[in-house]
Amino acid sequence: MTERIVVGAALVDGGRLLAARRSAPVELAGRWELPGGKVEAGETPEAALVRELREELGVAVEPGERVPGQWPLKSPYVLQVWTARLLPGSAAPEPLQDHDALRWLAPAEIWDVAWLEQDVPAVRRTLAQLGL
């Protein structure tokens, strides 16, 4: 089966990374992830990232660069990560959909949350990319 991309946002503000706790489905609920979602047919990953963060968190973001690599999720999905920043005038993120908590993590706090296992290598690579 052709792989399908899930985009995750490494949303950084003031040197802190946003982590989001999933509220569904049950097998993922309670674990932390990079907010984002599935890229739809005909959509670029960057456009999907902007759309998903608007829908899920109510924020306006600008995608930055891709974090090199991709990480397998439940087949046929793979996780790709882009850095992102809040646009001036954006609302602050709120857990509107799919999440029940958000945290801005300082570098020393990154491993304080229970990331989805499949996200751990992606988060590690993201931190290296961001120099955090």
Ligand X SMILES: Nc1nc2c([nH]c(=O)n2[C@H]2C[C@H](O)[C@@H](COP(=O)(O)OP(=O)(O)OP(=O)(O)O)O2)c(=O)[nH]1
* Strand-strand pairing, 4-13 and 36-38: antiparallel
Residue selected from 82, 93, 119, 126 as contacting ligand X according to rule CB under 6 A: 119
Beta strand spans in 14-110 (E) = 16-22, 32-33, 36-38, 61-72, 77-86, 99-105
Residue selected from 30, 38, 68, 107 as contacting ligand X according to rule CB under 6 A: 38
**Binding of ligand X by 84 (CB under 6 A):** no
CB of 32 to ligand X, least distance (A): 8
How far is it, in rounded angstroms, from Cα 50 to Cα 72? Answer: 22
**Positive or negative torsion for Cα 15, 95, 109, 49:** negative
Q: Which residue has the tokens 């089966």?
A: 1
**Binding of ligand X by 61 (CB under 6 A):** no
Total binding residues toward ligand X, as defined by CB under 6 A: 16
CB of 117 to ligand X, least distance (A): 9
**Binding of ligand X by 33 (CB under 6 A):** yes
Collapsing DSSP to helix, strand or coil, 34 comes out as: coil
Collapsing DSSP to helix, strand or coil, 87 comes out as: coil
Residue selected from 12, 18, 102, 116 as contacting ligand X according to rule CB under 6 A: 116
**Binding of ligand X by 73 (CB under 6 A):** yes
Which amino acid is it at 54? R
And the tokens for 1? Answer: 């089966």
**Binding of ligand X by 6 (CB under 6 A):** yes
Residues that bind ligand X (CB under 6 A): 6, 8, 28, 33-38, 73, 77, 79, 98, 116, 118-119
